């Protein structure tokens, strides 16, 4: 604790309340941000501003910098590749970085049976590519998503998103063929007595097939195994297996959207690994390339083999530099003890947050989430905007932490390489920020 205290005492964070920097007026108003800091460089769990301020980053660019900022192995791989070739268009030819990446993904990373890969640039693109694949392979148009899911900001993925109306209000009409199944977290959020969540959720899916979209016109069920923008809500025990069985019974494909929960964030390569479930299509992005724009999907080859050449792809799809970063990222994550360290740091943070909950039981409702994908939800007594208020108080004390969901929730997503001392420091700042907000 002494080391953490000394580190905190030497940091000033006046920039947390800074005015917009010169040129900010030219950035479109549709881009929301939590502050007006100007980031200049990062190293490990820390990020530095143009004013020389230093922040402990428990946001990781919304779950992207899983190896922290500027991991030396990734920096070296990127620098070497930039000196050779930085754009190798995938609709023209192959490049070795992508071929190496597909081998690593199949042999070390993705669930069993997923042996075909498509690379794009963003998570939204990857989700759209997954739906395109499911529709083409099954010759059926409709897709079922879950309440509280976030799948992107493009027209289709926005139409699939129900984590909050801010992502879709005013942008209709929305894409057709999307049906929303209820999620047990929202159905029973305020209740102390509840049925078995997994059984109830599958029953609701069965009703949906009878009332809204028949199996003969439904191609897939799409689920975030841990809701991201929906509040950092892990799937109830048995739910993933229940959805897998449901899809098999009705001839539907199961698409797991692991854009935010993938690549070690939950203490396994993917959240579905905890339940030993293999989806038909797995969508990934964010942490795969340590911050370089890369996303994609993994699927069964029998599905992707049905698509005609040219029906998928993109100008920057599978960028060679981004693939180089991904190869280096996977090599680091494959190292001995990496995932167990993620579990250890997650347990450390959950223990500290649970102690904080016990100290403030009328304020903190729940600490939840696997690995280093942790949600801290406040009770109804705190009032609207409290999570954002606590986040700003953390920022003033040198910690970057983001709210999420329609309920007052903070998400704790430090780098997977975060140290025990940094976890202790982050928990201490959060406690100070929370108690400062409560005393106002």
Q: What is the pLDDT of residues 303-345, one digit of tens each?
A: 999 999 989 989 999 999 999 999 999 999 999 999 999 999 9
Confidence of residue 7 (pLDDT cuts 50, 70, 90): very low
- CATH number of 2-70+337-439: 3.90.1150.10, 3.30.450.40, 3.30.1950.10, 3.50.50.60? 3.90.1150.10
Band of pLDDT at residue 158, cut at 50, 70 and 90: very high
- With a cut of 70, say whether residue 265 has pLDDT above it: yes
**33-63 residue pLDDT tens:** 878 888 899 999 999 998 889 999 999 999 9
Q: Give the mean model confidence (pLDDT) for residues 64-81.
A: 98
3-state SS track over the chain = CHHHHHHHHCCCCHHHHCCCCCCHHHCCCCCCCCCCCCEEEEEECEEEECCCCEEEECCHHHHCCCCCECCHHHHHHHHHHHCCCCCCCCCCCCCHHHHHHHHHHHHHHCCCCCCEEEEECCHHHHHHHHHHHHHHHHCCCEEEEECCCCCCCCHHHHHHCCCCHHHCCCCCCCCCCEEEECCHHHHCCCCCCCCCHHHHHHHHHHHHHHHCCCHHHEEEEEECCEECCCCCEECCCCHHHHHHHHHHHHCCEEEEECCCCCCCCCCCCCHHHHHCCCCCEEEECHHHHCCCCCEEEEECHHHHCCCCCCCCCCCCCCCHHHHHHHHHHHHHHCCCCHHHHHHHHHHHHHHHHHHHHHHCCCCEEEEECCCCCEEEEECHHHCCCHHHHHHHHHHHCCEECEEECCCCEEEECCCCCCCHHHHHHHHHHHHHHHHHHHHC
The average confidence (pLDDT) of the chain is 93
pLDDT of residue 317: 95
- pLDDT exceeds cutoff 90 at 205: yes
pLDDT mean over 108-118: 96
Domain ranges of the chain: 2-70+337-439, 73-333
Q: What is the pLDDT of residue 193?
A: 66
pTM of the predicted protein model: 0.94
29 pLDDT band (50/70/90 cuts)? confident
What is the per-residue pLDDT for 12? 56
Is residue 4 predicted with pLDDT exceeding 50? no
Q: Tell whether the model's pLDDT for residue 8 goes beyond 80.
A: no
pLDDT at 1 over 80: no
- pLDDT class for 2, splitting at 50, 70, 90? very low
CATH class belonging to 73-333 = alpha beta
On the question of pLDDT at 379 being above 90, the answer is yes
The per-residue pLDDT for 6 is 42
Using the predicted structure, report yes or no on whether residue 221 has a pLDDT greater than 60: yes
């Amino acid at each position: 604790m002494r080391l953490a205290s000394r580190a905190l005492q030497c940091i000033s964070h006046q920039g947390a309340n800074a005015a917009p920097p010169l040129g900010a007026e030219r950035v479109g108003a549709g881009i929301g941000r939590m502050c007006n800091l100007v980031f200049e460089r990062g190293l490990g769990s820390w990020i530095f501003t143009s004013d020389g301020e230093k922040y402990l980053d428990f946001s990781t660019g919304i779950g992207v910098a899983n190896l922290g900022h500027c991991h030396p192995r990734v920096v070296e791989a990127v620098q070497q590749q930039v000196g050779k070739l930085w754009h190798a268009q995938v609709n023209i030819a192959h490049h070795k970085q992508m071929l190496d990446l597909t081998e690593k993904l199949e042999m070390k990373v993705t669930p069993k049976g997923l042996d075909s890969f498509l690379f794009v640039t963003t998570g939204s693109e990857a989700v759209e590519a997954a739906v395109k694949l499911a529709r083409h392979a099954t010759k059926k148009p409709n897709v079922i998503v879950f309440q509280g899911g976030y799948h992107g900001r493009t027209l289709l993925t926005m139409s699939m998103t129900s984590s909050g109306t801010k992502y879709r209000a005013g942008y209709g009409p929305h894409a057709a063929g999307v049906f929303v199944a209820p999620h047990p977290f929202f159905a029973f959020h305020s209740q102390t007595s509840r049925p078995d969540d997994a059984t109830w959720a599958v029953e609701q899916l069965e009703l949906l097939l009878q009332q809204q979209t028949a199996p003969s016109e439904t191609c897939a069920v799409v689920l975030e195994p841990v809701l991201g923008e929906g509040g950092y809500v892990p799937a109830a025990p048995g739910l993933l297996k229940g959805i897998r069985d449901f899809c098999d019974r009705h001839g539907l494909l199961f698409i797991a959207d692991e854009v935010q929960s993938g690549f070690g964030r939950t203490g396994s390569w993917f959240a579905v690994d905890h339940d030993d479930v293999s989806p038909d299509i797995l969508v990934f992005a964010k942490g795969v390339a340590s911050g370089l724009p890369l996303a994609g999907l993994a699927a069964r080859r029998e599905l992707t083999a049905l698509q005609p050449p040219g029906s998928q792809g993109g100008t920057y799809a599978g960028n060679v530099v981004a693939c180089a970063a991904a190869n280096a990222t996977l090599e680091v994550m494959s190292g001995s003890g990496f995932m167990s360290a993620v579990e250890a740091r997650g347990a450390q943070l959950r223990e500290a947050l649970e102690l904080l909950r016990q100290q403030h039981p009328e304020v903190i409702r729940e600490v939840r989430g696997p690995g280093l994908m942790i949600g801290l939800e406040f009770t109804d007594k705190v009032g609207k905007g409290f999570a954002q208020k606590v986040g700003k108080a953390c920022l003033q004390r040198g910690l970057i932490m983001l709210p999420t969901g329609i309920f007052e929730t903070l998400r704790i997503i430090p780098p997977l390489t975060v140290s025990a001392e940094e976890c202790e420091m982050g928990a201490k700042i959060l406690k100070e920020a929370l108690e400062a907000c409560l005393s106002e």
